[in-house]
Structures are given as C-alpha cells and as structure tokens.
Amino acid sequence: MIVVMKPGATEKQIAHVIERIQDLGLREHVIVGTERTVVAALGEKRDGAKQALENSEGVDKVVPILAPYKMASTEVKAEPTCVEVRDLKVGRGHLGVIAGPCSVESRAQILELATLVREAGGAGLRGGAFKPRTSPYSFQGLKEKGLELLAEARDKTGLAVVTEVMAPEHVPLVARYADVLQIGARNMQNYPLLEAAGESEMPVLLKRGPSATMDEFLLAAEYVLKTGNTRVMLCERGIRTFEDHTRFTLPLASVPYLHQTTHLPIVVDPSHGTGKASLVAPMAVASVAAGADGLIVEVHPDPEKALSDGFQALTPTAFRDMMTKCRTVANVVGRKFGV
C-alpha cells in the first residue's frame, strides 16, 4: 500500500502516518519526491488497512498494491478451474452451454425445451422456479412445482439443472432438485445467501451485479470460495450504463480480463446482456470468440407467449442456428464445445 501525502504535508503528519502504519503491523518505507512524500507500507494485508490511513491528516490518497481477493486469484492458483457436473463442463478448454426458458411455465414447455437444448449440443438446462421480479405485480415463478419439473426434464435428458435461489432459507430446497445454484445479479452482494450457497457444496453460478466492478465481483466469489466450495462459475450478464437501445450493456472485455485475473471459469449471458432477441445470437458468437467458457441463453417455444422476458428469448430455430455458429468459432479459439 502506498500512502501519498499532500504537497506541503508536515514532518509531524508524516511521523503520524508512520506510527499508524506500525500500529497496523506493517513496515513503512519513506520516499521523499520533488513535490510530494510518499510512504510505502510493506506487509500489506487485505482487511481495510487502506481505509484506516485514508483519513489521517496530510494524507492525499492511499493506493493499494495487492488485489483485495485471494482465493479467486491467478496469483494463488494459476491453473484454470473447470466446473463439471453431469455432462456440463465449463472451463479449462471446455465450453458448456446452458439454455432454457426464463421461467418454468409448464411440464410440456420445459420437456420440449430440454430436448431441444440436448439435441443442439447444450449440457445445462436453465429455468426459473423462484423468480426475482422488479415489480411485485409480475409472475413470480412456479416455486417448488417448477423445481420438480426441472428435475423431471433432467432425468429425461441428462442435462444439468441450473436454477436461481433467492434466499438462504431456500438453499436446501433448491439444492435437492438442482445441479447448480444460480445467484442472480440482484443478489451478487447478498452475503448470507453467498455463504449458504457455498456451504451447500453445490456448484454455484454467480451473476455479476449490474454495477459491480471486477474487484467487487471477485470478492463476492470469494465469499463462496471461503466456505471451501471451489466450484464457482462467474457469469457476465451486462452492466448498467447510459445506453438505452439495449436492456444492459454487455462488456465482453471482461472475459479476457477475468481470464488474466482469476482461475474461475467465465460464462456469458447474452440474453440479459442485450435484452433483445435479435441481438442475442451475434453476441453469443462474439462471447465465444472473446474466450468465454460457457453461455447461458434463454430460449422459448413461443417467445411472444412467454410469462416473463419473452422479448429476449430465442425461438428454437434461432437457437439451433446460434449453436452451429458458436461451435465453429469455439474451434477457432481452441475450446471444446458442448457435449
């Protein structure tokens, strides 16, 4: 950590900062520049020492040197992690596709879609049973009934079931039916939920919050990893910006950036990331080209009758076309695609 003093900081202020650094169990190293003095604090820990110094008199700013996360970091584990469950393999050269409806709506719907996904080369089945909805007046999901239908579709097709859990007390119920627990974007910093998901020992798909920085995203993953559960997939699903022609802005550079920073696999959600069916397939292909380890995509047999988010669901035909293109591009960038 580097403490930058203000121009004109006094000897006394500098001495005080040194004392504070020592109180924190760190060693100081003073550098007197032409216009400013800076004090390096050696032996930096990751626990808020930065903040402790930021308010001392004469301090202009404190620059951390170490990343605030540990277990997610490539510094700690250089080899990429592959999350595997049933036939779904995500990471370390494998690209797994998870697809399905926004919400589970009926037995017929989910079975039809599961078959479609399987045949097109997908290995995971998505589908909301507990649905967090912006408005309390919107459809909130079939709840446990939805989980039962997902499990039935899994039994029929072998797809791994990926579904959202919204509260710590639901974790045991959802874990009974699902293969992967999804933490939604709204809950990326719901720490009791992250801990409960971690402790379930189930694989976790963690969605990036729409205003989360990379550090915040990785620190959220760290809450899961800290429980000893290492099967975490990070999911880029778009951020909130001023752009209004898409529902969110999908910043694909986070894929190669995260590959340099963390060993965890990166999944992209082009459905939420664009919010428009006509943009999903090009962005799915682009995600693969950018190096994604997985895709999670919404597909619906009849999007305009979907009970939620129909505007961003692919038709079965569009989905199959997308899969064909993704498979070819996956080869170009050295990924084993799908099943």
Segment 180 to 219, residues that bind a copy of itself, using CB under 8 A: 186-187, 189-193, 209-211, 213-216, 219
By CB under 8 A, is residue 46 in contact with a copy of itself?
yes
Q: Which of residues 151-180 bind a copy of itself (CB under 8 A)?
A: 166-169
Nearest to 208 by CA among 257, 174, 279, 281: 257
In angstroms, the Cα distances linking 206 to 35, 167, 276, 322 are 45, 14, 22, 24
Q: Does 318 bind a copy of itself (CB under 8 A)?
A: no
Report the nearest approach of a copy of itself to the CB of residue 223 (Å). Answer: 5
Q: Is 21 in the site for a copy of itself (CB under 8 A)?
A: no
Least CB distance to a copy of itself at residue 86 (A): 28
* Dihedral sign from CA coordinates of 332, 123, 93, 74: positive
Asked if 41 and 1 touch (Cβ cutoff 8 Å), the reply is: yes
Q: Which of 331, 321, 319 is nearest to 289 (CA)?
A: 331
- Shortest Cβ distance from residue 154 to a copy of itself (Å)? 26
Smallest distance, a copy of itself to C-beta of residue 158, A: 29
- What residue type is assigned to position 4 of the chain? V
Compute the distance between CA of residue 230 and CA of residue 221 in angstroms, rounded to an integer.
Answer: 9
* Minimum distance of a copy of itself from residue 160's CB (angstroms): 25
13 part of the interface to a copy of itself, by CB under 8 A: no
Distance CA 159, CA 151 (A): 9
Q: Figure out which of the listed residues 4, 18, 151, 318 binds a copy of itself, where binding follows CB under 8 A.
A: 4
Binding residues for a copy of itself restricted to 72-91, rule: CB under 8 A: 75
Binding marks (x or -) toward a copy of itself, 216..255, rule CB under 8 A?
x--x--xx--x------------xxxxxxxx--xxxxxxx
CA dist 268 and 97 (Å) reads 10
The answer to whether residue 320 forms part of the interface with a copy of itself (CB under 8 A) is: no
Strand 94-100 to strand 294-298: parallel, antiparallel, or no bridges (unpaired)? parallel
Give the count of residues interacting with a copy of itself (CB under 8 A). Answer: 110
